[in-house]
Amino acid sequence: MQAPTIGGERLPRGNGEAVRLPRGSTLSDFADKIGANPASLVKALLHLGEMVTATQSVSDETLQLLGAELNYEVQVVSPEDEDRELLESFDIEFGEDLGDEGDRAARPPVVTVMGHVDHGKTKLLDAIRNTNVAGGEAGGITQHIGAYQVSTEVDGNERKITFIDTPGHQAFTAMRARGAKSTDIAVLVVAADDGVKPQTTEAVEHAQAAGVPIVVAVNKIDKEGADPQRVRAQLTEYGIVAEEFGGETQFADVSALQGKGLDGLLEAVVLTADAELDLRANPRQKAQGIAIEAHLDRGRGPVATVLVQRGTLRVGDAIVCGEGYGRVRAMLDENGNSVAEAPPSRPVLVLGLTAVPSAGDNFIVVPDDRVARQIAERREARVRAAELAQSRGRRTLEELFSDLEKGEVQELVLIIKGDVSGSVEALEDALTKIDVGDEVGLRVIRRGVGAITQDDVNLAIASDAVVIGFNVRPEGKARELADHEGVDVRFYSVIYQAIDEIEAALKGMLKPEYEEVQLGTAEIVEIFKVPRIGNVAGCMVRSGTVNRASKARLVRDGVVVADNLTVSSLRRFKDDVTEVREGFECGIGIGYSDIKIGDSIETFEMREKPR
C-alpha cells in the first residue's frame, strides 16, 4: 500500500507491528519509538481531527487511533501494568491470594470515613480510637500512624475493625486512581443538623463507583436542630435506603462529641461486612499490602504505615515498598507497642526501609534483600526516566511548537517535597486545582517525601522548575547549588499560604490585560491653520483633563471619525502645557486635519487591569 501523505509529506507507516507506550505518552514519545519526526505525527493527528502539540500527553484512545492510521498496533501500558510486569520478572504476583479456599481465613473489614467538611469525620475517628482500643488498652497512649484497629463485641464474638485514619475521599480516590483498593466499607458521616451536602454526594459517588458498601453515621445528634430522620429521607434519593425504610443500608445515630452511639456504628459495620462481603485472606503466605502513610522520621529514618492485605508480615522480612526496600527492623501498632507479626487487615508502622514510599504504593515481602533491592532500583530508574522525559518535553515544546496552536502557553513547573506523603499529595492536589484560565498551566514533575536534595535542584535546573518545600529544607549542598544556579526554592508550612503564592505567581505569568480609562473630553470651538503642522483645534475642555501625549480619538455626532490618535501638541495661549483641566480653553494638535467645529476630542489611556 502507498504510504499516505499529507500536504505532500510522507507519513511514517508500519507493518502492523506492536508499539508499547506508557500511559500518558506524547506524540514525541511515539515518534521516538518508530523513528519518525514528531511534527509528522502532529500533522497526521491534525488530519484525524485532533489538535495537540508534540509534547502534550494524549489519551489512550488517541494513541490507538493514530497507531491505526499509521498501521502500528499501539499497546498502552499503565504504570500498574509496568509494575506488574516488573514483579512478574521476579516471579512475584501481586494482589492474589495463594492457595485455595481452605487456606483463607476471615479478616476484619477495612473502613474509610468520608463525608462533607465539618460534619465530624476527624472527631468521629478520634472518638472511636480513644474509647475503643484493641487489646483492652483503653486510656493507653495512642498515636496517629494513619490507621488503627478496634474491637467490638457482636453477638458474643469479639470482632475487629480497621479504620483508615485519614478522613476524606481524597486519600480514597488517590489510592483508587492508582489501582490500589484499600477500603472494604465506607462510613459516610452526615451531620444531623446540616443534612446532605455537596461533598456528601461526592463521597457517595466515589464509594458507589468503587463498589464499596456504605454505612451511614448520622452525627451531631446532640445538637439542637438535629434531624436524623431527614438525613435518612435525603439519602434515599441516592439509593441509600435505611433498613427501617425497607432498604439495606445500616444507619447509626451518633454523637462523636459525646462519644454516643459508637458501639452501634461499629456493630453496623460488622453486620454490613457479614451481609455483603465475604472478607477472607490467606494469612500463611508472604505478606502483601499497601502503604497508607509514610514520612521521614528524624531519628528512625523512613517510616511507613502499611496495611497488610494478605499473608502475615513479620519482623526480619525482606520487603520492598514503592522505591524503598529493606528488612523490617521493627513494627509498631497505634499504641506505640512493638508487634512481632501482622496478619491480614492489620495496619502497622514499619521501620527499616531505605526510602519513603508514597501512599498507595504496594508492599511485598520477597525472598531476600537482593530481590527487594533490585525491584526498588528498577522502580526508581523508571520514575527518574519518566521525570526526565517530562522535563525534556518542555524543551521541545519551547523550541519546536511554542506557537503551534494556542499561541504562547505558559507553564509553571513545580517540584514538591514535603515531610509526609499525605501533605505532599494534598498540596499537589490543591495546587493543580488552581485555575487562572487556559493561558497558563501548572505541572508537577516530581513529588516526594524528605529534604530537598541536590538531585531535586538539578532537575529544577534542567526543567526550569520552582521547588516547593513543605515543612522540609534543603539538605547539604542543595541550598548552595540552588542559590548559585538561581533556582527558586520556596518554603511553606501552611497549605493555604502555598496556594495563595502559587496562584499569585500563575497570575503574574499571565500577559497583562489593559483597559481603557477615559481622561477627558474637549469640544472643538475654533480651527486654526498652522503652517507645517496642519489644523490645530481650538478647544474647550468639557470634562476631566486633557494631557499631552495621551491617546485620543475624534468623535463627530456620536460617531468615532478617527481613532488611534495622540495629543501631539497642547497649548494655552502661546505656552506649551502638559495638562489642561475642565472649563479651560486650549489648542490641541492631534495630527489629523479633517476636524470640524462641534467635534469632540476624547482622550484616554490604557491601564493594566489587576487580575
* The one-letter amino acid at 170: Q
Point out which span in 114-122, 237-245, 555-563, 578-586 binds ligand GDP (CB under 6 A). 114-122
Residue 195 C-beta: closest distance to ligand GDP, Å:
14
Beta bridge partners of 552: 565, 603
Number of residues lying near ligand GDP (CB under 6 A): 16
Q: ∠ CA 448-454-456 to the nearest 5 degrees?
A: 35
Q: For residue 597, with 0-12 CB atoms within 10 Å meaning exposed, 13-18 middle and 19 or more buried, which class applies?
A: exposed
Residue 185 C-beta: closest distance to ligand GDP, Å:
18
Residue 123 C-beta: closest distance to ligand GDP, Å:
3
Q: With respect to ligand GDP, which residue has the nearer C-beta, 293 or 317? A: 293
Point out which span in 179-187, 203-211, 250-258, 350-358 binds ligand GDP (CB under 6 A). 250-258
State how far the Cα of 454 lies from the Cα of 479, in Å rounded to an integer.
8
Point out which span in 104-112, 121-129, 482-490, 586-594 binds ligand GDP (CB under 6 A). 121-129
Residue 171 C-beta: closest distance to ligand GDP, Å:
13
Residue 118 C-beta: closest distance to ligand GDP, Å:
4
Q: With respect to ligand GDP, which residue has the nearer C-beta, 241 or 257? A: 257
Q: With respect to ligand GDP, which residue has the nearer C-beta, 222 or 523? A: 222
**Parallel/antiparallel/unpaired status of strands 324-327 and 410-418:** unpaired
CA-nearest of 478, 503, 494 to 414 is 503
Q: Tell me if 117 contacts ligand GDP by CB under 6 A.
A: yes
> Which of 196, 256, 319, 541 is in the footprint of ligand GDP by CB under 6 A?
256
Q: Tell me if 378 contacts ligand GDP by CB under 6 A.
A: no
Residue 221 C-beta: closest distance to ligand GDP, Å:
7
Q: Mask 50-89, x = binds ligand GDP (CB under 6 A)?
A: ----------------------------------------
Task: Tell me if residue 182 falls in helix, strand or coil.
Answer: coil
Sequential DSSP letters for 260-291: BSHHHHHHHHHHHHHHH---EE-TTSB-EEEE
- The separation between CA 546 and the C-alpha centre of its own chain, rounded to angstroms, equals 51
Q: Phi and psi dihedrals of 143, rounded to 5?
A: -135, 160
According to DSSP H, which parts of 74-133 are helical?
79-88, 121-131
Q: Tell me if 495 contacts ligand GDP by CB under 6 A.
A: no
Q: With respect to ligand GDP, which residue has the nearer C-beta, 221 or 416? A: 221
Q: With respect to ligand GDP, which residue has the nearer C-beta, 123 or 206? A: 123
Residue 127 C-beta: closest distance to ligand GDP, Å:
8
Specify the length of the chain in residues. 611
Return the residue nearest ligand GDP (CB atom): 120
Q: With respect to ligand GDP, which residue has the nearer C-beta, 86 or 495? A: 495
Task: Tell me if residue 510 falls in helix, strand or coil.
Answer: coil
Residue 434 C-beta: closest distance to ligand GDP, Å:
22
State how far the Cα of 222 lies from the Cα of 218, in Å rounded to an integer.
11
**Contact criterion met (CB below 8 Å) for 264 and 254:** yes
> Which of 84, 104, 121, 178 is in the footprint of ligand GDP by CB under 6 A?
121
Q: Tell me if 123 contacts ligand GDP by CB under 6 A.
A: yes
* The one-letter amino acid at 57: S
Cell numbers 453496623 correspond to: 268
Residue 476 C-beta: closest distance to ligand GDP, Å:
38
Q: What is the DSSP letter of 420?
A: B
Q: Which residues contact 433 (CB under 8 A, 6 or more apart)?
A: none
Q: Within 13 Å, how many C-alpha atoms sit on residue 426's CB side?
A: 18
Cell numbers 470482632 correspond to: 159
Residue 416 C-beta: closest distance to ligand GDP, Å:
24
Residue 195 φ/ψ region, left for φ over 0, alpha for ψ in the -120 to 50 degree band, beta for the rest? left
Residue 156 φ/ψ region, left for φ over 0, alpha for ψ in the -120 to 50 degree band, beta for the rest? left
Q: What is the DSSP letter of 468?
A: E
Q: Mask 125-164, x = binds ligand GDP (CB under 6 A)?
A: ----------------------------------------
Q: What is the DSSP letter of 1?
A: -
**Contact criterion met (CB below 8 Å) for 252 and 287:** no
The interface with ligand GDP within residues 194-223 (CB under 6 A) comprises 219-220, 222-223
Q: Tell me if 255 contacts ligand GDP by CB under 6 A.
A: yes
Task: Tell me if residue 467 falls in helix, strand or coil.
Answer: strand
Residue 414 C-beta: closest distance to ligand GDP, Å:
27
Q: Mask 158-197, x = binds ligand GDP (CB under 6 A)?
A: ---------x------------------------------
Point out which span in 20-28, 116-124, 282-290, 464-472 binds ligand GDP (CB under 6 A). 116-124
Point out which span in 22-30, 253-261, 397-405, 418-426 binds ligand GDP (CB under 6 A). 253-261
Cell numbers 521493627 correspond to: 330
Binding residues for ligand GDP, rule: CB under 6 A, are: 115, 117-123, 167, 219-220, 222-223, 255-257
